[in-house]
Amino acid sequence: MKNQDRLWEISKQQQGIFTAEQAKSAGYRDSNFAKYIQSGAWERIQRGIYCLTKFPTYNRPELVVWTLWSLNTREPGMGVWTHETALEIFDLSDVNPTQMHMTVPFGFRRTKKPDFIHLHFGTLSKLEIQKIDGYYVTTPIRTLVDIFREESFDPSLLHQCVNEAISKGLITKIELARAKQHYPEIEKILEMIDE
- 58-101 pLDDT, tens digit per residue, is 889 999 999 999 986 555 568 999 999 999 999 998 878 889 99
Residue 92 inside a domain? The answer is yes
SS (H, E, C) 22-62: HHHHCCCCHHHHHHHHHHCCEEEEECCEEEECCCCCCCCHH
**Percent over 70 (pLDDT), the chain:** 97
Which segment, 71-85, 130-144, 177-191, is predicted with the most confidence on average?
130-144
Task: Confirm whether 60 is domain-assigned.
Answer: no
Q: Which domain holds residue 132?
A: 73-190
Phi/psi of residue 187, nearest 5 degrees:
-55, -45
Contacts of 136 (CB under 8 A, 6+ apart): 67, 78, 79, 80, 81, 129, 130
* Domains identified in the chain, total number: 2
* Residues 148 and 99 occupy one common structural domain: yes
Residue 59 within any structural domain of the chain: no
On whether both 33 and 90 belong to a single domain, the answer is no
Rounded to whole angstroms, the Cα distance separating 135 from 13 reads 9
30 and 92 fall within a common domain: no
Whether 85 and 140 map to the same domain: the answer is yes
Q: Where are the alpha helices (DSSP H) in the chain?
A: 3-11, 20-25, 33-39, 61-69, 83-89, 140-149, 155-167, 173-179, 186-190
112 shares a domain with 19: no
Q: Same domain, yes or no, for 87 and 138?
A: yes
Domain for residue 108, yes or no?
A: yes
- Does a structural domain hold residue 151? yes
Output the pLDDT for position 75: 52
Work out the number of other CB atoms within 10 angstroms of the CB of residue 31: 7
Residues 82 and 133 occupy one common structural domain? yes
- Mean pLDDT over 172-192 rounds to 90
- Is residue 61 in some structural domain? no
* Span 101-106, average pLDDT: 93
Is the residue at 139 inside a domain? yes
Report if residue 122 sits inside a domain: yes
Q: In this structure, are residues 130 and 136 in contact, taking their beta carbons and an 8 Å threshold?
A: yes
pTM of the predicted structure, to 2 decimals: 0.89
DSSP 169: T
Residues 84 and 134 in one domain: yes
Please report the pLDDT score of residue 74 as a whole number.
53
Rounded Cα–Cα distance for residues 150 and 114 (Å): 22
Q: Provide the pLDDT for residue 167.
A: 95
Distance CA 87, CA 139 (A): 10
